[in-house]
Amino acid sequence: MNRDTLYFRKAALNVAYKNKELPLNIYNKEVVRINHQLKELMDQERSKQATISIQQNNKLKKLFPVM
């Protein structure tokens, strides 16, 4: 599930809760789950970015050893 979908789901839960279509306990449970998924996704993205940056640095070091 991508980031946009998670935010869509979170917004849907907020709307449903505001319109009293969802009880508080289920709302809380689902929001916590989505927040957790979002955090995981962001961590994954950060680690991916870090890996890419390390790979790029290594490539640059190989190309320009003086640097």
Partner 1 sequence: MESIISAMMENQPPWFYYISSIIILITLVIIGIWAYLGAKRFYLAVDKENRIIALLEQKNQLEKDYFYQKTISDQLSEILVNATTFNRLKNKYFSEKDPKLSPTHLAQSIIEALSSDIKTMINAKHRVGLWFYEPENELLRLVQSSANFYKNQHDNKFLDLDDTIGGRCYRRNETIYVPDVKSDPDWEESSDSSNDYSSIICIPINDWGILTIDAKHQMEDTTIKVCELYATIIDGVLSIFLTKELSNIAGDQPPTTNGGD
Residues that bind partner 1 (CB under 8 A): 1-16, 18-19, 21-22, 26, 30, 42
- Token pair 């009293």 is at which residue? 20
Burial class (CB in 10 A: 0-12, 13-18, 19+), 9: middle
The nearer residue to partner 1, 15 or 61, going by C-beta atoms, is: 15
The nearer residue to partner 1, 20 or 62, going by C-beta atoms, is: 20
Distance CA 67, CA 64 (A): 6
> From the CB of 62, what's the least distance to partner 1, in Å?
27
> From the CB of 27, what's the least distance to partner 1, in Å?
9
Question: What are 10's two structure tokens?
Answer: 């979170």
